[in-house]
Amino acid sequence: MHPKRKILVIHGPNLNLLGLREPDVYGAVTQKDIDKTLKTIAEEENLSLKVFQSNSEGELVDAIQGAAGRFDGILINPAAYTHTSVALRDAAAAVGLPVVEVHLSNIYKREEFRHHSYMAPVAVGQVSGFGAYSYVLGLYGLIQEIDKRAGDVSPKRRKKKS
């Protein structure tokens, strides 16, 4: 059994409005639905999961900085700050934790200004375009990265030799 890995999930601005906000783009799923799914996975994977949402760039920076020494990784949907916030990028780079960036929509199929991510160069990976399932894929990717950094090759994750 793995030691309990600690993951911080960060939802950026306007994600608290999921289900109401532009359902043609973001679907009917709510942030609460996403969090419930992630918590179910956390139980199955022996994770400690903390969820944080803010519309304030400064609070998001504080959350990222506060993760150092307390969490093993960060799953983040920076939302609109993806395309504007050097501060979030710098905070993520500074804490030295693996970060996975997620987006509900495929940001590269949307407006031109959404095609650039300040977070991507400091993230271990990015998942976009799969709706709420982007969070699930991102969480599993983050778990793999945390285990890899810890040198874990447990039977559940190890490929079987033929």
| pLDDT exceeds cutoff 60 at 47 | yes
What are the residue numbers of the active site? 26, 103
pLDDT band for position 154 (50/70/90)? low
- Which among 11, 15, 12 is positioned nearest to 25, based on CA atoms? 15
Is 47 within 8 Å of 8 (Cβ atoms)?
no
Long-range CB contacts for residues 110-115, cutoff 8 Å, separation at least 24: 113/83, 114/82, 114/83
Tens-place pLDDT, residues 54-106 = 999 999 999 999 999 999 999 999 999 998 899 999 999 999 999 999 999 88
pLDDT for 114 equals 74
Mean pLDDT of 40-45: 96
Per-domain residue ranges of the chain: 5-149
Is 4 within 8 Å of 48 (Cβ atoms)?
yes
Measure the CA–CA gap between 9 and 41, rounded to whole angstroms: 13
What crossing angle do the helices spanning 31-44 and 133-149 adopt, rounded to 10°?
40
Superfamily of domain 5-149: Dehydroquinase, class II (3.40.50.9100)
The length of the chain, given as a count of residues: 162
140's CB contacts (< 8 A; 6+ apart) are 41
Tens-place pLDDT, residues 107-145 = 877 778 677 899 999 999 999 999 999 999 999 999 999
